[in-house]
Amino acid sequence: MPIPEPAHRSESARELVRDRVYAQLRNAILTGVLLPGERLDEAELRKWLQVSGTPIRQALQTLSMEGLVHTAPQSYSAVITPRPEHALETLQTIGVLLAGATLMTLPRLDDSARAELARLADAVIDSLRVGDVPAITSAAEAFFTLILHACPNPVLVEIIARSGPSLSYHVSVAHQGLDADLVELARGYETLRTALELHDDRGVVAATKRVFRVDHATS
């Protein structure tokens, strides 16, 4: 755990402590160490993280802006409790971001990179067919990570890097709000895989939207 810096520490050192506290709290939320709805008592956090209240409050403010913490002014902070009725809209938001990155990235990929994408798509499809949820998640993350690494738009990449974990957290916690159909999802990735093989970039983007149900009618 971080150790409090002495009173004469530099501004960069104070910033390092703040960033470290932020990373620890964020990771604790995303990994389930801190559960949805759990109160975040500052005194307990000071004891756990071994820092003063200032970097904790700064970290909580950032996490609140990212949608991982709910803060009631002059009252309390708690881990956000994702709402099932928003799960579809959140999934669609992820899809819009990743479809945009895919649209920008595909024209830059050589045959080797496309072949690797096809291999990763096959891994997703295989995992979907057997219903292996952890493997599905891992393979899908690997697929889109490759796309993001080659994306020519650093602003979009930064937005996805910053918001993606929070959005994914909301979907994973509130997944009961989705009527998940692994067979239909496999069809979406099969369509994506075929479009990759045909060098049909527009088809790949359209299939990505289908995977994330961007074309799903919302009320």
Q: Please give the Cα distance from 94 to 11 (Å, whole number).
A: 35
Do 131 and 43 belong to one domain? no
Last residue of a domain, one of 79, 109, 127: 79
Phi/psi for 164 (5° steps) reads -55, -50
CATH code for the domain of 49: 1.10.10.10
| SS3 state at 195 | helix
CATH code for the domain of 178: 1.20.120.530
Is residue 50 included in any domain, yes or no?
A: yes
Angle separating helix axes 154-173 and 133-150, nearest 10 degrees: 170
H or E stretch covering 35: none
Q: Are 68 and 80 in contact (CB under 8 A)?
A: yes
Do 54 and 147 belong to one domain? no
Is residue 132 included in any domain, yes or no?
A: yes
Q: Which of 187, 190, 195, 186 is nearest to 106 (CA)?
A: 195
Do 181 and 94 belong to one domain? yes
Is residue 59 included in any domain, yes or no?
A: yes
Do 110 and 204 belong to one domain? yes
Distance of CA 143 to the CA centre of its chain: 14
Is residue 219 included in any domain, yes or no?
A: no
Last residue of a domain, one of 41, 58, 79: 79
Q: What is the pLDDT of residue 191?
A: 96
Q: pLDDT 10s per residue in the chain (219 long)?
A: 232 333 344 445 556 888 999 999 999 999 999 999 999 999 999 999 999 999 999 999 999 999 999 987 777 899 999 999 999 999 999 999 999 999 999 999 999 999 999 999 999 999 999 988 888 889 999 999 999 999 999 999 999 999 999 999 998 888 776 777 888 999 999 999 999 999 999 999 999 999 999 975 444
Q: What is the pLDDT of residue 1?
A: 26
Question: Which domain range does residue 105 map to?
Answer: 84-211
Do 60 and 98 belong to one domain? no
Is residue 1 included in any domain, yes or no?
A: no
Do 62 and 111 belong to one domain? no
Q: Are 140 and 168 in contact (CB under 8 A)?
A: no
Is residue 74 included in any domain, yes or no?
A: yes
Do 67 and 88 belong to one domain? no
Number of folded domains that form the chain: 2
Radius of gyration of the chain (CA): 20
Do 128 and 184 belong to one domain? yes
Do 56 and 105 belong to one domain? no
Do 68 and 107 belong to one domain? no
Q: Please give the Cα distance from 25 to 30 (Å, whole number).
A: 9
Do 127 and 164 belong to one domain? yes
Q: Which of 137, 170, 180 is nearest to 30 (CA)?
A: 170
Do 27 and 90 belong to one domain? no
